[in-house]
Amino acid sequence: MNLKRNITTCLLSLLLLSFTVGCNPAREKIRKFNDFYTTGQYDKALTFACNNISKNYKGNGEDLLWCLNAGAVYRIKQQPVESNQYFDHAEEIFNRHQAARNKAGETAAATIASDNVVAYTGKVYDGIMLNVYKALNFMKLQELELARVELNRALDRQRMAIEYYNNEVAKGQQAAQKKNINSDKVGDVSNGSYNSIISQKYPDLAGYKVYSDFVNPMANYLAGLFFYLDGDYNKSSQLLKEAVGMSSENQFVVADYEMVEKILNGQQVQTGHVWVIYENGLSPEREELLFGLPIPVNNTLIFIEIALPRLVNRSGDGGAVVISAPDMQLETKQLASMERVIQTEFKKEFDMILTRAIMSATAKAVAQYAVKDQDGLVQLGVLAYTLLSTAADVRMWTSLPREFQLARLPLPADGKLNISIAGSSRQIELPACDNAIIYIKKTNSNTPAIFDIIPFGVKELQAQPITK
C-alpha cells in the first residue's frame, strides 16, 4: 500500500511538473513579438514587450529578454531616455543573474526538466550590446561622460567572457559527475558517444565563421571612434587596431586606425569627418530541433526524444547605403556581423546545452526503466512527463540586427549629403559641427529607415533626429 501511495504521489508530482514546463509559452510570445517587430508595428511590439515584464523588474522568467526588446524598440522610436531606462533595468537583471550563477540550482532544475524552467539569464553578447546601445543613446543626448562609461562596460564584458565560459564548462562537468551519468546502471552517454548523430543534425555548426574570444567588432570600433573624437588617441589606437584585425576588408576602419596612428606620430591629418553607421536586418533566431537518442540503461536501450535549439538566419535588407556629396560617392561596407557574433557564442555553449539535454534524457530513461514493471497508468504518467517536459530553450534577443555597416567621408562644406537606401533617397543637412555620426537603422525591406544625427563639437548641444 505504501509503495503504491508513493508511486501515485510521484506520478502526480511528475505530471504537475510536466504541465508546468511542457508547453513553451516563451516561444509563442517571442513569435508574436517578432510578428509586430518585423512588420514595423513598433507601438504594438513595445506594448507587448512591456506587458510581459513582471512588476518591480524582478528578473523572473523572461524579464531580461523583454526589457532588452523594449529598450531596442524605444531606440527605433527615437526616445533615448526611455530606451536607457529599460536598458538600465535589463542591466540590473543581467548583473544579478551573473552574480547568482555560482549556484547549482539552475543546472539541477534544467537537468530534471529542461532549460526553460530557469529564468532567461542572457548571453554575453546581450550584455555587450545593451551597453553599446546605451552609449549611443547617451551620445545622442550629448551626455558624453556617460557614453564613455557604457563603452568601457561593454569592453569589460568582452574581457570577462572567456573566464565566464570556462567557469560554466567546469560547473557543467561537476553537475554531470554529481548526477553519476556514467554509473553502473547507465552506459556511456557522454557527448562524444553521440558525435555522429549530432553531426548529422547540425551540419553547419563546424563551419561557423566565429570571432575570436567573444569580441564584437562593433563594440571595439565604436569605442575606438568615440575615444578618437574625445581626444584619447592612445586608447583609440588600441581599440581600432583590434577592430582592423576583425574587419580588415573595411577600408574605412583601416583609414581611421591609420589616421590615429599619424596623430600619435605627430603628423598632420585631415580633420572633420562624417561616419555613417548602418544597422540593418534581423539577427538569427533559435528554433527547436527534436530527435531521438538511444540511452543504455541496464544493458537495455531506451529511446528518448531530446530537444535542442539551433540557429536559423533571418533576412537582411539586401544592400548597402550609398552616400553622395559634391565630387564624391561611396558605399557602406560591413563592419560587424551579428550573425557571426551570435554563432560564436552558440558554438561555444553548445556542448553545455547538449550535456544538460543528455543528462535530462538519461534521468527520463532511468525513470522509464524503473516503472517498466508497474501498471499501465504509472508507465503512461512517466511517458507523459517525458514528452511534455521535452522542449528546447529558444529564448533570445530577437530585435538585434543582422549586421553593422560603415562608411567615412570628409565633412561637406555645406553640411549636405544625399543618402540612398534600397532605391529611396533622402537629403541630410548636418548642423554646424566638427564631426558627426549619421546612424541609420532599417529592420528589413518592409520597414522604413530610421535616421539619427549625432554631432560632435557643436555649440548647440543637442542631437537632431530626422523625422521618419
CB distance 411 to 346 below 8 Å: no
CB distance 253 to 244 below 8 Å: yes
The neighbour count for residue 33, using CB atoms within 10 Å, is 22
Determine the pLDDT at residue 177.
Answer: 57
CB distance 325 to 409 below 8 Å: yes
Q: 111, 303, 275, 283: which is closest to 197 by C-alpha?
A: 303
10: CB partners within 8 A, 6+ apart: none
Written as one string, the DSSP assignment of 168-204 is HHHHHHHHHHHTTTT-SSB---SGGGGHHHHHHH-TT
How would residue 361 be classed by pLDDT, with cut points 50, 70 and 90? Answer: confident
Exposed / middle / buried, residue 85 (Cβ in 10 Å: 0-12, 13-18, 19+): middle
| CA dist., res. 279 & res. 351, Å (int) | 31
Query: Pairing between strand 300-312 and 285-297?
Result: antiparallel
> Among 106-115, 164-173, 327-336, whose mean pLDDT is lowest?
106-115
Q: Report the pLDDT averaged over residues 147-169.
A: 86
Sign of the CA dihedral running 408, 413, 416, 422: negative
Exposed / middle / buried, residue 188 (Cβ in 10 Å: 0-12, 13-18, 19+): exposed
Determine the pLDDT at residue 1.
Answer: 46
| CA dist., res. 332 & res. 337, Å (int) | 14
For the stretch 408-455, pLDDT in tens is 999 999 999 999 998 889 999 999 999 999 999 999 988 999 999 999
How would residue 183 be classed by pLDDT, with cut points 50, 70 and 90? Answer: very low
Exposed / middle / buried, residue 467 (Cβ in 10 Å: 0-12, 13-18, 19+): exposed
| CA dist., res. 436 & res. 222, Å (int) | 13
**Backbone φ/ψ region at 163: left (φ over 0), alpha (ψ -120 to 50), beta:** alpha
Query: 562609461: which residue's cell?
Result: 149
pLDDT over 90 (residue 36):
yes
Quote the cell numbers at residue 210.
566565429
Determine the pLDDT at residue 299.
Answer: 75
The CA-based angle 301-287-59, given to 5 degrees, is 105
CB distance 442 to 448 below 8 Å: yes
For the stretch 241-291, pLDDT in tens is 999 999 999 999 999 999 999 999 999 999 999 999 999 999 999 999 988
pLDDT over 90 (residue 207):
no
pLDDT over 90 (residue 12):
no
Determine the pLDDT at residue 248.
Answer: 93
| CA dist., res. 278 & res. 257, Å (int) | 20
- Pick the residue with more confidence: 9 or 134? 134
Determine the pLDDT at residue 322.
Answer: 97
Q: 453, 412, 395, 313: which is closest to 69 by C-alpha?
A: 395
Determine the pLDDT at residue 429.
Answer: 96
- Pick the residue with more confidence: 302 or 94? 94
Q: Which residues on adjacent β-strands are paired with residue 404?
A: 279, 336
Q: 295, 277, 289: which is closest to 437 by C-alpha?
A: 277
**139, 433, 268, 258: CA torsion to nearest 10:** 40
